[in-house]
């Protein structure tokens, strides 16, 4: 347990004897260093935070995992996109499970992120010194919604087509730049193959990267701003 | 803490259990059960059939960008041993297409990607092209075989014919090169019908007066009928400003004279009017039934019509007979005395005063219902208000259709079928009239419309047959052919009717003398046939022009007889032997009073036919007339020559 090899991988020396050893486990672990060294017991009670932030995060992880698997079967092209949905449903092993999991996790994430905000708001957890983390949280909420919206077009069925039509038309009413934003979003003046590619890249690359970065920042700020409130 | 661990443990197990559902569902899928059934079924068969491995199967048609997984369950589709197996194992019926290169859904529709029964066959929110019922299946043939009438597609051919006859293109844009068929012009209708009463009855429901009419029922309100009647009655002069000649004195004087009427009756039957016009359903159906004509049209109109129908109705296919004025008047008198509707309601209103603005209201209605789409009417205010473009109706999505309050299934074919059957059920504002077609015709038209799609197909799949070039003789001959409407019954160079023989190479088939005499007294060549050519009373010089044309233009040089063929007595005797003994021709043809009734009697062949034609015909009848019953007996050339010699020796003594 004390070999060069073990030490090169795990930084903590075993066995754990003192409180310092215990805290070192936390410090030295990538997954756990997010926790403060000391946590008040009431803060980890279910009724304190309802675990809403963590549930949202785990849903995001589930979405990334299922999403990457779905990407293996998906082409952002017409009419292949819709046919790929059919393939997932009828021929890919557990494909429909994968797709449903992605879909339900996305719906649930919107709900849990929203409830998380409610909890933070009513607890007054947005107050000093956590004001900026609230701002990051708002951006995270917006990203969640945008991910939902961009993912909606990808099956390319009637529902998604019209949802995006409506969405894009709402964007058009932004003063001055509305039409340009719409053009940018759709990759043209009407929904077509380029829109599909644009939404695909947004949904699978740009927005998830922004999301991951902001989640990291959000978690880091929780620690630095004094733990859970 | 132990309590929390218990909760963790139980939820973890529960999640694992839930996760197991998905692979289980995969394993117990419907198609696997079907394939197991298949393997069990073929074991019981006496013949040996290879069992199916339990795998998904599909046909990938890359050119059509289609993947059809139908063969996953339709396992025996290409196995001829399973022709009588139950569905879905049965083999496909014989078709001219290779299943592997065409796939399934290009013809049958349905969701080829699906692997369970209901998703693959039935309409759903995620697939609006369910499997086509057999009654519309031919529509798929029509998607590639554009304008091509195949013998495998009777319904499609029928539908195309109906569309053309009902003049759907009068209101709708349609794909397929339909030509407008003849529809009477309404010019002069005010001087044609006996009274306004007839017109109101007609407009209310044309089928009630004449069940065979092509005019549909526009379901007009009483007020609309009144206005339209007033409006139409105001058109007194015929096309190009033609006015009716008044009835000749001979008619006025003799119209009630029995001898005069008998003359009319004789001419009426000599001219074989009933070849085209039925009288109380007896006779042809090419032209209107004449049983009640005298209660519809005025005597003056009838007289003028027989005299020169082309003046009153330009483009009509009725021949213009060469009757004298006396004969024409006599026929008019006969029709006036005989063809009266005894039950027709009397015109109760002696003098009808149309409302002041009847013309404006009338033209508005005329345009609203797009009457001008079919009927010609000389008025500057006629404008076309066409119906929807139907060139891509077969590609219409179900969500684009307003099914209104109807409770028909939400599929495109049910919609089209119902729309043709009762057009007004989908909304009060619809203008389309009711055609009251029988079920088969309704379905045939639906099939044609379903075939009108805009999904691009690869070039090598599509077969477009250009509409045949129209044979349109000009000059003197052209005028005569038009005057007697020869092409209504006969075909020349792929143009014309199919009732009577093709005349494209008549100059190489018949003898000139016989043709000339036949024009004067036409008779039926086959004793069992009722139809025969009407006596058109063609003038001498016209006969000369026509025969001249026949023998100079309508000939086929390859049909001439080689020089030096043997028509000696021995050859004739040999031919007779072949006729009587070897080929038994008398079982169908009459010679010398004995023989069958299938083919024409051959007694006067030597007076009627040309030897070259007889010879070539005998060698291969189907080459010249594919549908003929005459067997292709495989005669040697020597036999054909002997037989020709014999047949050409059969002459009447005259």
Closest chain B residue to the Cα of A99, Cα to Cα? B22
Per DSSP, B282 falls in state: B
Per residue in B174-195, pLDDT tens? 887 787 878 888 988 888 888 8
The H or E element containing residue B44 is helix B30-44
C-alpha–C-alpha distance, residues B444 and B139, integer Å? 9
How many inter-chain contacts (A to B, CB under 8 Å) are there? 28
Chain A hits for B67, Cβ within 8 Å: 83
Tokens 């001087």: give the residue. B191
Cβ atoms of residues A57 and A65 within 8 Å: no
Structure-model confidence comparison of residues A63 and B44, the more confident one:
A63
CA distance A207 to chain B (A): 29
Instruction: Verify whether the Cβ–Cβ distance B69 to A90 is below 8 Å.
Output: yes
Q: A153: which 2 tokens?
A: 């077009």
Place of tokens 């196995």: B79
Reported as a pLDDT band with limits 50, 70 and 90, residue B273 is confident
Determine, for residues B399 and A158 on separate chains, whether the beta-carbon distance falls below 8 Å: yes
Q: Give me the long-range contacts of B17-24 (CB less than 8 A, separation at least 24).
A: B21/A97, B22/A94, B22/A96, B22/A97, B23/A93, B23/A94
Q: Which residue do the tokens 């909420």 mark?
A: A141
Interchain CB distance below 8 Å, B56 and A91? yes
Q: What is d(CA B192, CA B46) in angstroms, rounded to the nearest whole number?
A: 75
**Chain A residues inside the 8 Å CB shell of B61:** none
Contact between residue B605 and residue B614 where contact means Cβ atoms under 8 Å apart: yes
How far is A94 from chain B, CA to nearest CA, in Å? 6
Which position has the higher pLDDT, A116 or B259? Answer: A116
Of B22, B113, B119, the CB nearest to A87: B113
Across B30-50, average pLDDT: 90
CB A206 within 8 A of CB A143: no
Residues 30-69 on B with a CB inside 8 Å of A are 56, 65, 67, 69
Q: For strand B145-146 and strand B463-464, is the pairing parallel, antiparallel, or unpaired?
A: parallel
How far B554 CA lies from chain A's nearest CA (Å)? 56
At residue A99 the predicted structure's pLDDT band, cuts being 50, 70 and 90, is very high
| Identity of the highest mean pLDDT range in A166-180, B258-272, B582-596 | A166-180
Which pLDDT score, from 0 to 100, does residue A166 have? 93
CB of B22 within 8 Å of a chain A CB? The answer is yes
Q: Pick from A79, A83, A90: which is nearest to B115 by CB?
A: A90
Whether A141 and A114 have beta carbons less than 8 Å apart is answered as yes
Q: Which of B26, B55, B64, B125 would best serve as a mutation to test chain A binding (most A beta carbons within 10 A)?
A: B26
Q: Do B26 and A94 touch (CB under 8 A)?
A: yes
d(CA B455, CA B467): 22
Q: How many helices (H) and strands (E) does chain B have?
A: 29, 8
Alpha carbon distance B29, B72 (integer Å): 12
The strand pairing partners of B463, in sequence order, are: B145
Would you call A93 and B26 a contact, using CB atoms and an 8 Å cutoff? yes
Would you list the domain boundaries of chain A? 49-224
* pLDDT-wise least confident of A2-11, A113-122, B69-78, B505-514: A2-11
pLDDT at B654 over 60: no
Mutation pick from A86, A98, A104, A161 vs chain B, by most beta carbons of B within 10 Å, is A86
Neighbours of B452 (CB within 10 A): 22
Inter-chain CB proximity B115 and A94 less than 8 Å: no
Spatial separation of the C-alpha atoms in residues A211 and A193, rounded to whole Å: 26
What are the φ/ψ torsions at residue B466 (nearest 5 degrees)? -65, 145
Q: Tokens for B93?
A: 């019926």
Question: Residue holding tokens 């990607």?
Answer: B113
Contact A83 B113 (CB under 8 A): yes
Say how far apart CA B85 and CA B90 lie, in whole Å.
Answer: 5
Q: Please determine, for the modelled complex, whether the ipTM score is greater than 0.95.
A: no
> What band does B527 get if pLDDT is binned at 50, 70 and 90?
low
**pLDDT tens digits, B329-362:** 899 989 888 888 777 666 555 567 778 888 888 9
CB within 8 Å: B113 and A86: yes
Question: pLDDT averaged over chain A?
Answer: 90
Chain B residues inside the 8 Å CB shell of A97: 21-22
**pLDDT digits over B537-587, tens only?**
888 888 889 888 988 888 888 887 766 677 788 888 888 888 888 888 888
Whether the CB of B126 is below 8 Å from some CB of chain A: the reply is yes
Average pLDDT rounded to a whole number, residues B12-30: 91
Report phi then psi at B564, rounded to 5: 70, 30
- Residues in chain A within 8 Å Cβ distance of B115: 90-91
The answer to whether B256 and B390 have CB atoms below 8 angstroms apart is no
**CATH placement of domain A49-224:** 1.20.810.10
**pLDDT for res A67:** 96
The domains located in chain B, with CATH, are: 30-131 (no CATH), 149-173+386-461 (2.60.40.420), 189-338 (1.10.760.10), 475-555 (1.10.760.10), 569-648 (1.10.760.10)
Quick check: B27 contacting A, CB < 8 Å?
no
- Quote the pLDDT of residue B35: 93
Q: Under a CB-based contact definition with an 8 Å cutoff, are residues B566 and B492 in contact? A: no
Contact B65 A93 (CB under 8 A): no
Is A90's CB within 8 Å of B119's CB? Answer: yes
* B339 in Cβ contact with B288 (< 8 Å): no
| Residues across chain B | 654
Q: What percent of chain B has pLDDT above 70?
A: 97
Interval A66-96: pLDDT, tens:
999 999 999 999 889 999 999 999 999 899 9
Q: Determine the distance in angstroms separating the CA of A86 from the nearest CA of chain B, rounded to an integer.
A: 6
Flag whether residue B73 sits within 8 Å of chain A, measured between CB atoms.
no
Sequential DSSP letters for B343-376: TPPP---SS----TTHHHHHHHHHHHTTGGGTS-
Instruction: Give the count of beta carbons closer than 10 Å to the beta carbon of residue A148.
Output: 15
pLDDT, mean of residues B442-447: 94
For A7-11, B132-136, B422-426, which range has the lowest pLDDT when averaged over its residues?
Answer: A7-11
Evaluate if residue B13 carries a pLDDT over 90: yes
Q: Which of B62, B72, B126 to mutate to test the interface with A (most CBs of A within 10 A)?
A: B126
What own/partner pairs with CB < 8 Å and gap ≥ 24 does B85-93 have? B85/B41, B86/B41, B88/B34, B89/B38, B89/B41, B89/B42
| Lowest-confidence region among A106-120, B128-142, B255-269 | B255-269
**Alpha carbon separation from A55 to A47, A52, A111, A114, B9 (Å, rounded):** 14, 5, 11, 12, 18
Substitution target in B4, B7, B18, B22 with the highest count of A β-carbons within 10 Å is B22
Q: In this predicted model, what pLDDT tens digit does every residue of B300-326 receive, in sequence order? A: 899 998 888 888 888 888 888 888 888
Using a CB-CB cut-off of 8 Å, the residues of chain A touching B22 are: 94, 96-97
State the average pLDDT over residues B486-505: 83
Query: Which chain A residues have a beta carbon less than 8 Å from that of B73?
Result: none
- Return residues 454-483 of B near A (CB < 8 Å): none
Q: Does B17 touch chain A (CB under 8 A)?
A: no
Q: What residues in B contact A90, CB-CB < 8 Å?
A: 69, 113-116, 119
Compare all CA atoms of chain B with the CA of A86 and give the residue at the minimum distance. Answer: B113
Least confident among A199-213, B183-197, B334-348, B381-395 = B334-348
Q: Which residues from A are below 8 Å from B when comparing CB atoms?
A: 79, 83, 86-87, 89-91, 93-94, 96-97, 157-158
Query: Which two tokens mark B293?
Result: 């004509």
Arithmetic mean of pLDDT over chain B? 86
B111-143 pLDDT, tens digit per residue, is: 999 999 999 999 888 888 999 999 999 999 999
- Chain B CB contacts of A155 below 8 Å: none
Q: Using the predicted structure, report yes or no on whether residue B253 has a pLDDT greater than 60.
A: yes
Asked if residue A1 has pLDDT above 70, the reply is no
* B350 vs B646: which has the higher pLDDT: B646
Cβ-based neighbour number of residue B281 at 10 Å: 10
- Over residues B403-414, the pLDDT tens digits come to 888 888 889 999
Q: Is the pLDDT of residue B289 over 90?
A: no
User: Would you say B455 and B395 are in contact if contact means Cβ atoms under 8 Å apart?
Assistant: yes
| Residue ranges in B28-88 assigned as alpha helix (H) | 30-44
Q: Write down the pLDDT at residue B630.
A: 83
Pairwise CA distance, residues B185 & B310, whole Å: 11
């Amino acid at each position: 347990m004390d070999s060069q090899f073990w030490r090169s991988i795990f930084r903590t020396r075993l066995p754990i004897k003192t409180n310092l050893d215990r805290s070192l486990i936390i410090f030295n672990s990538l997954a756990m260093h997010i926790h403060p060294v000391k946590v008040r017991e009431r803060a980890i009670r279910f009724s304190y935070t309802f675990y809403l932030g963590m549930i949202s995060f785990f849903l995001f992880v589930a979405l990334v995992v299922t999403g990457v698997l779905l990407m293996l079967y998906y082409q952002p092209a017409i009419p292949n996109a819709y046919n790929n949905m059919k393939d997932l449903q009828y021929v890919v092993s557990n494909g429909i499970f994968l797709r449903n999991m992605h879909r339900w996790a996305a719906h649930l994430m919107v709900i849990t992120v929203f409830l998380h905000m409610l909890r933070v708001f009513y607890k007054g957890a947005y107050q000093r010194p956590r004001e900026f983390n609230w701002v990051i949280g708002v951006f995270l909420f917006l990203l969640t919604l945008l991910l939902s919206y961009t993912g909606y077009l990808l099956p390319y069925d009637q529902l998604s087509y019209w949802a995006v039509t409506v969405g894009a038309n709402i964007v058009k009413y932004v003063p001055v730049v509305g039409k340009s934003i719409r053009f940018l979003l759709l990759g043209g003046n009407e929904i077509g193959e380029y829109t599909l590619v644009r939404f695909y890249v947004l949904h699978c690359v740009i927005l998830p990267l922004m999301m991951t970065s902001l989640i990291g920042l959000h978690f880091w700020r929780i620690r630095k701003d004094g733990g859970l409130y | 803490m132990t309590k929390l661990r218990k909760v963790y443990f139980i939820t973890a197990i529960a999640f694992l259990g839930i996760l197991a559902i998905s692979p289980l569902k995969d394993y117990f899928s419907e198609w696997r059960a079907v394939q197991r059934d298949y393997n069990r079924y073929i074991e019981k068969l006496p013949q040996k059939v290879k069992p199916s491995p339990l795998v998904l199967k599909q046909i990938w048609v890359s050119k059509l960008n289609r993947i059809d997984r139908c063969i996953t369950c339709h396992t025996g589709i290409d196995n001829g041993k399973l022709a009588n197996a139950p569905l879905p194992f049965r083999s496909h019926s014989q078709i001219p297409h290779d299943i592997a290169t065409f796939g399934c859904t290009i013809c049958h529709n349905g969701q080829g990607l699906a692997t369970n029964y209901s998703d693959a066959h039935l309409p759903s929110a995620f697939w609006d092209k369910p499997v086509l019922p057999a009654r519309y299946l031919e529509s798929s043939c029509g998607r590639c075989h554009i304008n091509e009438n195949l013998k495998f597609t009777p319904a499609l051919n029928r539908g195309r014919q109906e569309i053309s006859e009902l003049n759907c293109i009068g209101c709708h844009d349609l794909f397929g090169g339909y030509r407008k068929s003849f529809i009477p012009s309404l010019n002069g209708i005010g001087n044609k019908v006996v009274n306004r009463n007839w017109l109101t009855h007609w407009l209310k429901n044309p089928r009630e007066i004449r069940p065979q009419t092509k005019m549909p029922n526009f379901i007009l309100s009483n007020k609309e009928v009144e206005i339209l009647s007033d409006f139409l009655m105001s058109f007194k002069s015929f096309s190009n400003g033609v006015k009716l000649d008044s009835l000749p004195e001979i008619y006025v004087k003799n119209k009630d004279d029995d001898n005069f009427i008998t003359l009319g009756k004789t001419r009426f039957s000599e001219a074989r009017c009933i070849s085209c016009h039925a009288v109380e359903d007896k006779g042809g159906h090419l032209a209107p039934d004449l049983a009640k004509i005298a209660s519809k049209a005025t005597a003056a109109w009838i007289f003028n019509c027989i005299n020169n129908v082309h003046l009153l109705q330009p483009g009509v296919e009725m021949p213009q007979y060469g009757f004298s004025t006396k004969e024409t008047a006599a026929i008019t008198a006969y029709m006036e005395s005989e063809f009266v509707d005894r039950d027709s309601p009397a015109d109760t209103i002696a003098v009808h005063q149309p409302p002041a603005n009847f013309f404006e209201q009338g033209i508005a209605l005329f345009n609203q219902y797009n009457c001008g789409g079919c009927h010609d009417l000389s008025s500057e205010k006629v404008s076309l208000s066409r119906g929807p473009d139907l060139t891509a109706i077969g590609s219409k999505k179900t969500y684009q259709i307003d099914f209104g309050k109807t409770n028909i299934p939400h599929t495109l074919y049910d919609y089209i079928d119902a729309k043709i059957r009762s057009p007004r059920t989908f909304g009060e504002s619809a203008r389309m009239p009711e055609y009251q077609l029988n079920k088969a015709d309704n379905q045939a038209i639906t099939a044609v419309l379903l075939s009108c799609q805009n999904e691009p197909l690869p070039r090598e799949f599509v077969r477009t047959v250009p509409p045949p070039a129209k044979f349109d003789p000009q000059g003197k001959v052209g005028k005569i052919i038009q005057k007697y409407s020869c092409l209504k019954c006969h075909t020349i160079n792929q143009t014309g009717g199919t009732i009577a023989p093709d005349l494209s190479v008549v100059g190489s088939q018949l003898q000139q003398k016989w043709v000339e005499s036949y024009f004067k007294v036409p008779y039926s060549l086959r004793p069992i046939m009722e139809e025969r050519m009407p006596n058109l009373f063609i003038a001498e010089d016209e006969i000369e022009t026509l025969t001249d044309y026949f023998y100079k233009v309508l000939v086929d040089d390859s049909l001439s007889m080689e020089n030096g063929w043997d028509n000696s007595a021995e050859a004739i005797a040999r031919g007779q032997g072949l006729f009587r003994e070897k080929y038994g021709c008398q079982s169908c043809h009459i010679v010398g009073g004995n023989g069958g009734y299938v083919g024409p009697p051959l007694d006067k062949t030597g007076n009627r036919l040309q030897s070259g034609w007889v010879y070539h015909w005998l060698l291969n009848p189907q080459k010249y007339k594919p549908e003929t019953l005459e067997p292709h007996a495989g005669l040697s050339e020597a036999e054909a020559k002997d037989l020709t010699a014999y047949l050409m020796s059969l002459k009447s003594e005259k």
